[in-house]
């Protein structure tokens, strides 16, 4: 690839909420954390396909602060230590600030390096070909070029931006003639016919020093602001970060630089931007259905049906999306399934919690699942990881029932051991800590009674 002395880092962009994949993807559990294909989440799949070409110890994940613990948990599950690898943005400011944050953080410890940038929520079918392209991209980047992976279009897609290629270079690369916005269908067909237009994948390779020079040339104010923010530490405040311009790397750098090149790529890429794109990507059964979960489908074809917890029975359907979660069900015709984004906006405006989180929410100590909430009573299931502690302030009458495992309850400087089948009750507002044993997780049902019915 490049000189052995040149370190290579991978920057994974894990921001965003993936509203077009609601109700599975939500604000607190965006699509990069979801397992749509196989058992791995999208961020786990992104990390795994880098090896062995790129060292997974040299990844840096840029994400929102609210997703830090989940990102850490996901990459730890696949054997990669999260220590020092996650960079938190206090608020989202688009891809240019996110990439610059990672670039400058890496430059503080490395005089120069080749950096790859990958969205953490995309999918790739042909990993072998993808890894071959990584090698070519590294060699191009080592020549001080800024590489963008251009996907050879298989059909006239109107949901992607395009890049027009120009003069031929080594490694099949082309100089960039122009970036173009998402086209209408007629324009997209013309791009396909021309043969030198490529889908904009949002994946890049460049030297850290080169991209910094381009920021200095085209966005010096952002560079100065970010360098000032990172001069003291690697963490920044929301108030300061909000002052950065909200702009994509395409608008900020790629459309202006003279160092940009396209690396034509054909490795089965998709950004999974909607239920339709996920349906298009996945293999179909004999009736052209994609079915996942406990589903009975009769006289049904060209459908995407995903169940999480309940049985779904579908009869005489065609070109329909059905997605079930414990608290929501989405039903749409496939072609208009992107419109779910408008539904999420309506949920948000109405103050509905379903746009933001699932019934199960993961925390550093374990998980919380809301089972029922009505008539002044809340029932929840807590799973406290081995050796972890859950802290809460009791309200109303609070019962804790241990259904599996054992642990210690601490309150008012007193402690007691709770085992499976035992319970503890508190009838006033108190600070309570429940610690699981080191041997196994502690499973608890918590019932809060806020008021009594008359």
Domain formed by 360-449, architecture? Sandwich (2.60)
pLDDT tens track for 10-64 = 999 998 777 899 999 998 899 999 998 788 999 999 999 999 999 999 999 999 9
pLDDT of residue 231: 86
The kind and range of the H/E element at 130 are helix 127-141
Summary mean pLDDT of the chain: 92
| Length of the chain measured in residues | 454
Residue intervals in the chain for CATH 2.60.120.10: 360-449
CA distance 80 to 78: 6
The CATH number of domain 7-270, selected from 3.90.550.10, 3.30.450.80, 3.40.50.11610, 3.40.50.800: 3.90.550.10
- Mean pLDDT along residues 65-73: 91
pLDDT of residue 234: 60
Residues 6+ apart with CB under 8 A from 117: 10, 11, 13, 99, 202, 203, 204, 205, 249
- The residues pairing with 162 across neighbouring beta strands, listed in sequence order, are 180, 199
**Is 0.85 topped by the overall pTM?**
yes
Residue intervals in the chain for CATH 3.90.550.10: 7-270
For residues 323 and 23, is the Cβ–Cβ distance under 8 A?
yes
The dihedral over CA atoms of 19, 342, 336, 248, expressed in degrees to the nearest 10, equals -50
pLDDT at 209 over 90: yes
pLDDT tens track for 255-297 = 999 999 999 999 999 999 899 999 999 999 999 999 999 999 9
- Mean pLDDT along residues 301-310: 95
Extract long-range pairs of 287-295: CB within 8 Å, 24+ residues apart: 293/324
Higher pLDDT among residues 424 and 428, named by residue: 424
pLDDT tens track for 78-127 = 999 999 999 999 988 899 999 999 999 999 989 889 999 999 999 999 99
Confidence bin at 452 (pLDDT 50/70/90) = low
- Mean pLDDT along residues 120-138: 96
pLDDT tens track for 310-365 = 999 999 999 999 999 999 999 999 999 989 999 999 999 999 999 999 999 888 89
Give whole-number Cα distances, 169 to 147, 176, 250, in Å: 12, 11, 21
pLDDT at 160 over 70: yes
């Amino acid at each position: 690839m490049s000189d052995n002395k040149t370190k290579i880092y991978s920057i994974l962009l894990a921001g965003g909420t993936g509203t077009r994949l609601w109700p599975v993807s939500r604000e607190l559990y965006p699509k990069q954390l979801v397992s749509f294909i196989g058992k791995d989440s999208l961020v786990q799949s992104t990390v795994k396909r880098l090896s062995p070409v790129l060292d997974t110890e040299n990844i840096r994940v840029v994400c929102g602060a609210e997703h830090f613990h989940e990102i850490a948990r996901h990459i730890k599950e696949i054997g990669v230590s999260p220590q020092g690898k996650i960079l938190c943005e206090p608020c989202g400011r688009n891809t240019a600030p996110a990439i610059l944050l990672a670039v400058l953080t890496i430059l503080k410890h490395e005089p120069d390096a080749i950096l790859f940038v990958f969205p953490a929520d995309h999918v790739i079918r042909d990993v072998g070909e993808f890894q071959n392209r990584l090698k070519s991209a590294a060699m191009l980047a080592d020549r001080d070029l800024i590489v963008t992976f251009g996907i050879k279009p298989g059909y006239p897609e109107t949901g992607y931006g395009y890049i027009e290629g120009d003069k031929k270079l080594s490694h099949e690369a082309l100089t960039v003639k122009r970036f173009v916005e998402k086209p209408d269908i007629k324009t997209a067909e013309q791009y396909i016919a021309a043969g030198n237009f490529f889908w904009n994948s949002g994946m890049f390779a460049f030297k850290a020093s080169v991209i910094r020079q381009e920021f200095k040339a085209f966005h010096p104010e952002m560079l100065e602001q970010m360098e000032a923010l990172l001069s003291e530490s690697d963490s920044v405040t929301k108030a300061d970060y909000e002052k950065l311009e909200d702009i994509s790397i395409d608008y900020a750098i790629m459309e202006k630089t003279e160092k940009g090149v396209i690396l034509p790529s054909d490795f089965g890429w998709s950004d999974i931007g909607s239920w339709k794109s996920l349906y298009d990507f996945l293999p179909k059964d004999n009736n052209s259905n994609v079915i996942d979960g406990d589903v009975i489908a009769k006289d049904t074809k060209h459908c995407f049906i995903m169940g999480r917890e309940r049985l779904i029975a579908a009869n005489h359907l065609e070109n329909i999306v059905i997605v079930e979660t414990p608290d929501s069900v989405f039903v749409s015709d496939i072609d208009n399934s992107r419109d779910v984004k408008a539904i999420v906006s309506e949920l948000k405006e109405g103050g509905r919690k379903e746009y933001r989180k699932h019934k199960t929410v993961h925390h550093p100590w374990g998980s919380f699942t809301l089972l029922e909430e009505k008539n002044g009573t809340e029932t929840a299931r807590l799973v406290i990881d081995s050796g972890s502690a859950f802290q809460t302030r009791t309200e109303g009458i609070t019962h804790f029932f241990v259904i599996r495992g054992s642990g210690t309850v601490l309150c008012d400087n007193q402690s007691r051991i709770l085992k499976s089948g035992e319970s503890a009750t508190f009838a006033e507002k108190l600070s309570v800590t429940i610690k699981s044993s080191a041997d196994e997780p502690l499973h608890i049902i918590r019932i809060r009674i806020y008021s009594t019915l008359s």
